[in-house]
Amino acid sequence: MDLATEPTHLPDATDILLERDVQRLGRELHQRLSGQTPGLFQAAWWQGLLLDRTMRDPALKTDLFRLVDALPALSTSEQIARHAREYLLANGRELPTGLGLALRVTQNPLAASISAFVITQSVRQMAERFIVGRDARQARSTLKKLWGQGFGFTVDLLGEATVNAVESETYARRYADLIEFLPGETAAWKANPILDQGPAGSIPRANISLKLSAMDHLLDAADPDGGVERLLARVRPLLLRAKELGAFINFDLEQWSLHEITYRLFERIALDPDFSAWPHLGIVIQAYLKNAGHDLDRLLALASKRGAPLTVRLVKGAYWDYEVIQSGLHGYPCPVFKEKTHTDANYERLTRRLLDQRATIHAAFGTHNLRTLCVALACAENLGLKPGAFELQMLFGMAEPERKLLRELGHRVRLYAPVGDLLTGMAYLVRRLLENTANSSFLRLSHHDHADIGELLAPPTAAAPLDADEEGNQMAERERNLGAPFQNSPLADFTSGETRAALAQAVAGAEKQMPWQVPVVINGRARMDGPALFHVTPNLKTRIAASANSATLEEVEQAVGFAKKAWAAWRDLPLETRAARINHLAARLDGDRLRLTAMEVHEQAKPWREADADVAEAIDFCRYYARQSLVELSPRLQGGIAGEINTLTYEGRGLCAVIAPWNFPLAILCGMTAAALVAGNAVLLKPAEQAGAIAFAFHQHALAAGIPSEILPFLPGEGEIVGDALVRHRDVVQIAFTGSREVGTAILRHAAEIVPGQAMIKRVVCEMGGKNAVIVDDDADLDEAVTGVIRSAFGYAGQKCSACSRLILVGTIHENFVSRLKLAAQALVPSSATNAGCLLPPVIDEASHARLWKIINDPGPDARLIFRGEAGTTGWFVPPAIFEVNDPLHPLMQRELFGPILTVFAARDFSHALEVANTSDFALTGAVYSRSPRHLQQAREAFRVGNLYLNRPCTGAQVHRQPFGGFKMSGAGTKAGGPGYLLHFAEMRVSTENTMRRGFAPEIL
Ligand SMILES: Cc1cc2nc3c(=O)[nH]c(=O)nc-3n(C[C@H](O)[C@H](O)[C@H](O)COP(=O)(O)OP(=O)(O)OC[C@H]3O[C@@H](n4cnc5c(N)ncnc54)[C@H](O)[C@@H]3O)c2cc1C
């Protein structure tokens, strides 16, 4: 049971006695530690000065850590000095005199090279504080010295997520080298009984902590089975060798998204006949996780099935900021406690449980917090355990006085010793700096802020935070309540086994329902008997996904007739009533979310995540426009002058044709429809030919949510016939269109022609394509940039209007980036979208397939193919392709392609990159990967697109947070999901009343 669900625990006599011992021990140890400070807090010159300042100035802390993060990517003194100025002197910041001056004069090349040298050296020294060596051989002397001082170690190879198979293989090979090297190397070191002997016999000296994220570049929470299988193939040989040579292997825990994969893999290994009697296997529990108690249950159950104990390293967790930010960004339930006191309380609770279960689980306590340590020591003391019955672990570079004291008290102290180069070490260094300088950090409170001992040893308050259900109920309540602020719907959390299983079941269920029948629906009456338009599932060319009836021109007339009669009644309903119905529509879509998602997986071959995001966006549009309509379309008074009342009101315009695309088959259709309806219009709904089934499902929900059937006819059919008839109809006063430039501009032309009998000027809300560029600057974080470009260019096979199709590389990074990009693109193996791990689905239909193949085979003059992947055969697969050109006006750099084709261009410098990016007819999205604040600012000012993204992919806009839409040939400047959008669907009226009668006005009285 975890803290989130455990009833409040009232202290009993044991608790009270334990607390007394914790306080006694804590004070004793604190006394013995007095006057000693960990190295980090003693650092000299700018390290010390700056660290001290950062703890008082959060903005400086952010800037300093960003500079540290960027350093390994900077190769020249000029670059280093410029970045240091841009970060540390940001917004006219005053630094301690010497430092500020030293930075200011770095415009001068000599000063720049001196400063660059000093900065690099300082950061290197700071990193060396936490990192034992570049590789195992270089680390040997430090490890041996530590051993000589009486400390054990566990070596970890620094490495964050890898972006291609070669990098993952290299990383695994480095672990293999470590396993080969360490046991032999340490065998001759002098004996140390406390380090060499544990409760169950001898302990291997070579202790290695495995980080799984870097062992496989495709790990994805949505596909734990695939991840576990691939990792098993990589990790099992390492473990066999470790067992043979005598090394202990611990599985580290990283981000929550990898938690399930790590635990499943560990379970497979722990029960594998080759390892089930092997005692030198361990894993981590992160106490900041709300489900940490379940993790311990799971490990206890696992240990009981084995013939040997397991080791558990209990830590609080190193990714707290990351988890909080990620869950906030995606709307997932936050996996970690939000209050530190809950993490601490959970740690203490787990400590007791671990020691109680010592027969099957060996405990290792990883903490630097004196209170937390003393709880472990006091519990052990009360259980009569001797030092050595459990282990204490600390990070190399932290809490040196504490570790020394604990060793002197006879405990087995193991140090976590990272090995790696400066580049891979930066993320680790920044995590350590963040941790040490956090307001709540025990080490900071104790050694920097010199907090009072009573405060340092105060027991954590264990009041239970909200559990997941309660959080969910509160969210649901907020969503129902139109008065509550808008919040984006959470995306499906694929770390949850229940979510994965439910979607897998829905995908299988939807497959059985194909082909879906799509009728024409007018005035609530469905007609199914006409000649059908067939759409095959892109996943399998031979399987029909949907069979749609096509509306005839007479039916268009009929639909217009009904809508014309009924729309005024809808218009005249109170705004709140229309908004409530749209909000209700959101709730209905939400309730049917799995089925709708599964339909898109088949009908449009949308991979799971993309399909889920599309449905979530549809729900968001409804909720957002319902709320926004009350803000933007409510009547209001203007002027405020005595003697007159000016009332401004909005009303619907009439009949709106919604002509929707297939690539966001629910979200865009729903967004345009909801906006038009809530503003008081009737909607003639014309779905894309490739999206009839999902559109019909939407239509059924809309009618069930209370939208009158007369004002919402459903008119599937070909664009050239049904769409064209609607656009040109004299009674259609508004057109909301999203699609190609060709069709969009034709609609604009037709809408401008006044036809006989037309009573209103037609308005067009028109979203068209893009030719979006991503610029990668020469100081960019290449791991992030490669992943971001792959996602932007090849997500949903490049079939998003926001997709990246031009990649502009700045200066010196070109060669390195292209080679990493090519390797990363090799992972884009085409597969059916029904597979949970699908990275590259087929394209939508035969026509797209043929068109894209033609471009790949004939890309135009002087286009060099630098990568072409595989193409499957069962569906409409097109291989991912990357070309390079030298001409910014090359057709590949100018024509919208709408498929998995990326074109690379090498720019001289950042300004040139911006100039090339802006050389396009389109202006929809764009992205820049850079760590130069000045370049980011330059991009904000001069990269002229509707949606600019900095240091993230150029796809994936969220309603409200990123109102979406472009200008130039990308659209008429309307921004869906943002302020002002609804106004395009409404007429504004003003009535002015003269309120003065015989010289007085009521406003004066
Ligand atoms: C040997 C060793 C190995 C480790 N291995 C791993 C590992 O594999 N995976 C991993 O994730 N971590 C690991 N850690 C833990 C991590 O790196 C931190 O060192 C540790 O969490 C710091 O905790 P503390 O008890 O020393 O310090 P404290 O200052 O008492 O606690 C700091 C911790 O509290 C938590 N916290 C901070 N603010 C909040 C808040 N507002 N709400 C809730 N919780 C909060 C965070 O976890 C933070 O790290 C390891 C630590 C050690 C010593």
Residues with Cβ within 8 Å of 851's Cβ and at least 6 positions away in sequence, in order, are 899
pLDDT in tens, 616-646: 999 999 999 999 999 999 999 999 888 899 9
Q: What average pLDDT does this structure show over 183-203?
A: 93
Residue 872 has pLDDT above 50, yes or no: yes
CA of 252 from ligand 1 middle (Å) equals: 13
Give 877's DSSP letter: -
Q: What's the rounded Cα separation, in Å, for the pair 700 and 687? A: 14
Check residue 49 and give its pLDDT.
65
Residue of 767, 784, 884, 896 marked catalytic? 767
Closest atom of ligand 1 to CA, residue 284 = 8
Residue 445 or residue 203, greater confidence:
203
The residue whose CB lies within 8 Å of the most ligand 1 atoms, and thus the one to mutate among 315, 327, 429, is: 315
- Indicate whether residue 318 lines ligand 1 (CB < 6 A): yes
Structure tokens, 876: 């409409």
17/658: higher pLDDT: 658
335, pLDDT greater than 60 = yes
Decide the pairing of beta strands 525-527 and 520-522: antiparallel
Cα of 368 vs centre of ligand 1, distance in Å, is 9
Specify whether the CB–CB gap between 992 and 643 falls below 8 A. no
pLDDT tens profile 411-436: 999 999 999 987 777 888 888 888 88
Task: For 802-833, write each residue's pLDDT tens digit.
Answer: 999 999 999 999 999 999 999 999 999 999 99
Residues 796, 661: Cα–Cα separation, whole Å? 15
Closest C-alpha residue for ligand 1 atom 38: 340
**Given a cut of 80, is residue 862 above it in pLDDT?**
yes
Section 138-147 average pLDDT = 95
Q: Is the pLDDT of residue 357 over 90?
A: yes
pLDDT for 363 equals 97
pLDDT-based confidence at residue 3 (cuts at 50, 70, 90): very low
CA distances for 477 relative to 147, 470, 592, 624, angstroms: 58, 11, 18, 15
Mean pLDDT confidence for 228-248 = 97
pLDDT of residue 46: 55
Tokens read off for 216: 């496989």
Instruction: Give the residue-averaged pLDDT of 558-571.
Output: 98
How many whole angstroms from 288 Cα to the centroid of ligand 1? 8
Distance of CA 216 to the CA centre of its chain: 18
Cα 316 to ligand 1 centroid, rounded to whole Å: 4
The owner of tokens 């090394």 is 247
Point out the ligand 1 atom lying closest to the alpha carbon of residue 368.
Answer: 26
Nearest partner of 661 among 793, 849, 800, 764, judged by Cα: 800
- d(CA 314, ligand 1 centre) in Å: 9
Ligand 1 pocket residue status of 283, Cβ below 6 Å: no
DSSP state of 97: H
413 lines ligand 1 (CB under 6 A): no
Report whether residue 431 contacts ligand 1, using a CB cutoff of 6 Å: no
Percent of the chain surpassing pLDDT 70:
95
**Residue 392 near ligand 1, beta carbon < 6 Å:** no
Q: Ligand 1, atom 39: nearest CA belongs to which residue? A: 340
Determine the Cα–Cα distance for residues 335 and 655; give it in Å rounded to an integer.
47
Residue 790: CB atoms within 10 A of its CB come to 23
Nearest 5°: phi and psi at 868?
A: -140, 125
Q: Which two tokens stand for residue 308?
A: 């040997």
Q: Which one is predicted more confidently, 465 or 129?
A: 129
**320 pocket-lining for ligand 1 (C-beta < 6 Å):** yes
DSSP track, 6-32:
SPPPPP-HHHHHHHHHHHHHHHHHHHH
CA of 170 to the centre of ligand 1 (A): 29
Residues 446 and 439: their CA atoms lie apart, in Å, by 11
Whether residue 552 has its Cβ less than 6 Å from ligand 1: no
Q: Is the CB of 251 under 6 A from ligand 1?
A: no
Separation in Å, CA 1 to CA 263, 291, 343, 346, 467: 18, 8, 15, 11, 12
Mean pLDDT across the chain, nearest whole number?
Answer: 92
Write the residue with the smallest CA distance to atom 9 of ligand 1.
253
What band does 11 get if pLDDT is binned at 50, 70 and 90? low
Amino acid 89: pLDDT:
85
Alpha carbon nearest to ligand 1 atom 18, residue: 318
Are 179 and 208 within 8 A, CB to CB?
yes
Closest CA to 614 of 469, 446, 491, 477: 491
Q: Position 508: which residue type? A: A
CA of 41 to the centre of ligand 1 (A): 18
pLDDT tens digits along 497-541: 999 999 999 999 999 999 999 999 999 999 998 778 999 999 999
The pLDDT, as a whole number, for residue 116 is 81
Q: Is ligand 1 within 6 A of the CB of residue 628?
A: no
Ligand 1 atom at shortest distance from the alpha carbon of 442: 29
Residue 369 CB less than 6 A away from ligand 1: yes
Q: Which of 104-108, 278-282, 301-305, 669-673 has the lowest mean pLDDT?
A: 104-108
With b for 16 or more beta-carbon neighbours within 10 A and e for fewer, the 554-573 pattern comes to: ebbebbbebbbebbeebbee
> 397: Cβ below 6 Å to ligand 1?
no
Q: What is the DSSP string of 24-58?
A: HHHHHHHHHHTT---GGGG--HHHHHHHHHHHH-H
Ligand 1 center–CA 126 separation, angstroms = 20
User: What is the mean predicted confidence (pLDDT) over 982-999?
Assistant: 93
Amino acid at 784: E
Type of residue numbered 556: V
Q: Is 331 in the pocket of ligand 1 (CB under 6 A)?
A: no
Active site residue 766: no
Q: Which residue's CA is the closest to the ligand 1 atom numbered 15?
A: 317
> Rounded to whole angstroms, how far apart are CA atoms 692 and 392?
62
Q: Return the pLDDT at 1004.
A: 65
Lowest mean pLDDT among 363-367, 441-445, 984-988: 441-445
Ligand 1 atom at minimum distance from 366 CA: 53
Q: Is the CB of 250 under 6 A from ligand 1?
A: no
CA dihedral 723, 725, 728, 734 (to 10 degrees): -50
Q: State mean pLDDT over 166-193.
A: 94
Ranking 481-485, 876-880, 888-892 by mean pLDDT, the lowest is 481-485
Distance from the alpha carbon of residue 642 to the mean position of ligand 1, in angstroms: 64
Name the residue of 132, 155, 207, 316 to mutate for ligand 1: max ligand atoms within 8 A of Cβ. Answer: 316
Instruction: Tell me, in angstroms, the distance from the centre of ligand 1 to residue 441's CA.
Output: 9
Nearest CA to ligand 1 atom 51: 366
Mark whether 267 is an active-site residue. Answer: no
Distance CA 125, CA 122 (A): 5
Ligand 1 contacts CB of residue 288 (under 6 A): yes
Integer Cα distance of 640 and 249 in angstroms: 75
- Residues 6 or more apart in contact with residue 438 via CB below 8 angstroms: 444
Sequence-ordered strand ranges (E) for 447-572: 516-518, 520-522, 525-527, 532-536, 544-549
Using N-to-C axis directions, what is the helix angle for 575-591 and 593-603, rounded to 10°?
A: 70
- With a 6 Å cutoff on the Cβ, whether 316 touches ligand 1 is yes
Which position among 334, 801, 804, 838 bears the catalytic label? 801
> In the block, which residue shows the tokens 């006005």?
1001
Each residue's pLDDT tens digit, 364-403:
999 999 999 999 999 999 999 998 999 999 999 989 999 9
pLDDT of residue 434: 84
* One-letter amino acid of 101: L
Based on the number of CB atoms within 10 Å of its own CB, is 533 exposed (0-12), middle (13-18) or buried (19 or more)?
A: middle
The Cα–Cα gap between 600 and 846 comes to 18
